[in-house]
Amino acid sequence: MATKSRVTAPSSPKTGHVIRDSAFGLAADLLEPVVRLTHLNWAASSVNPGLIEMLRLRNARTVNCVICKSTRYDVAHRDGTTEEKLALVDDGYQNSNLDRREKLALEFADTYLQDPDRASPDLMARLRQEFSPRQIGDMAVAIATFHAMSRCAVGLGGMPENMPVFIMSPPSA
Amino acid sequence: MTYTSAELEVGATPEIEAAFRAIWESLGCQRHLPKATLELARLRLAALHRADREMALRSPWATGMHERKAGAVLAGAWHRQDDFDAAERSVLAFTEIYAQGPEFITDELATEITGHFGDAGLVCLIEALGFIDARIRLALVFNRLQTGD
């Protein structure tokens, strides 16, 4: 994995926004739509932040984005998410003590991440027993966004080999 | 209803659904990369996903793309054809490696893209591939979830 960044983030003025001040700020024509979506995935979702955090971390560990793996969102902590629970969002989660709804959400994420062409109507039937259609849609867009953004972060280089866990707020609008 | 990335609707909260679509639409308005070249990249991703409906789609920004090139990209034969320019070749090579995993992108591939389109072009390409890939994956998932097709 490239540890040297392949682009230079925009110079001043800094905005204080985690996305606008990053290399993503260089592609100005895509920037505001990306900022808006990343914000809304947390702020407007019909799914609780703790479950979104689990989906985000499942993606981060699948893509192996070091920064994404080390990030924790404060809204998820306030929703009751603990490090002990997040440690279960790993291979073998199906045999963990996560609840049925959480395991199902992670199975949905894995289908998207690993083999989208093998999604089954059976999975949809089980999803509909636990989630509303809107919640399924919100989870789908959240997983898709996390996947796209984490792959961007890895592809642009500059990824540290490891870093400690840190807490931040979701991106503002 | 069967989806391609162009018609995809996943039933999300309206604000979220609209924001997700806005990124797709911004790809057709951006000025960092030639749109016909981006369309070739989209078709290559569709072929690598074996997403038949997506392969048949021509996005709204495909104007100016030669259908002969589209056919070569879909068939994976673009390497052997003379009518792709250096920038198109760089983008297609980058796309194929991106599809395998962003960790496989080399400094040489990235430098080729910045040589043609600058740093902004590289960021735009990698974001565009991410969100194009996202819509292709979601279309595949939701088509199968709903119909088993």
Query: A residues 113-152 near B, CB within 8 Å?
Result: 116-121, 123-124, 127, 133-134, 136-138, 140-141, 144-145, 147-149, 151-152
Structural domain boundaries enclosing A131: 49-168
Q: Indicate if the pLDDT at residue B149 is higher than 60.
A: no
Closest by CA position to B70, among listed B60, B87, B56, B82: B56
B87 Cα to chain A: minimum distance (Å): 18
- Closest by alpha carbon to B46, among B76, B21, B23? B76
Q: Which tokens in the block code for residue A123?
A: 């999975």
Query: How many domains does the structure of chain A reveal?
Result: 1
- Given a cut of 70, is residue A134 above it in pLDDT? yes
pLDDT over 90 at B81, yes or no: yes
CB contact under 8 A, B32 and A27: yes
Q: Render pLDDT for B96-126 as a digit per residue (tens, 0 to 9).
A: 999 999 999 999 999 999 999 999 999 999 9
Contact with chain B for residue A37, Cβ under 8 A: yes
In this prediction, residue A75 carries a pLDDT of 98
Q: Which residue matches tokens 């590289």?
A: B122
B59 to chain A, minimum CA–CA distance in Å? 17
3-class DSSP state of A29: helix
What would the pLDDT profile of B43-73 be if each residue is shown by its tens digit? Answer: 999 999 999 999 999 998 888 899 999 999 9
Query: Is any Cβ of chain A less than 8 angstroms from the Cβ of B80?
Result: no
Q: Which residue of B has its CA nearest to A27?
A: B120
Binning pLDDT at 50, 70 and 90, where does residue B12 land?
Answer: very high
Percent of chain B with pLDDT over 70: 98
Q: How far is A101 from chain B (nearest CA, A)?
A: 18
| A25, part of any domain | no
* Interface subset of A 46-65, CB within 8 angstroms of B: 46, 63-64
Rounded to a whole number of angstroms, the distance from the CA of A6 to the nearest CA of chain B is 7
Contact flag A29-B16 (C-beta cutoff 8 Å): no
Residue A36 pLDDT class (50, 70, 90 cuts)? very high
In a domain, A115, yes or no: yes
A47-105 pLDDT per residue, tens? 999 999 999 999 999 999 999 999 999 999 999 999 999 999 999 999 999 999 999 99
How many C-beta atoms lie closer than 10 Å to residue B103's C-beta? 15
| Coil vs helix vs strand at A8 | coil
Position A28 in a domain: no
Tell me the whole-structure pTM to 2 decimals.
0.96
Domain CATH for A54: 1.20.1290.10
Lookup: tokens for A66: 């070091």
Which domains, ranges and CATH numbers included, belong to chain B? 14-147 (1.20.1290.10)
Among A101, A18, A19, A95, smallest CA distance to A54 is for: A101
Q: Is residue A61 one of the residues assigned to a domain?
A: yes
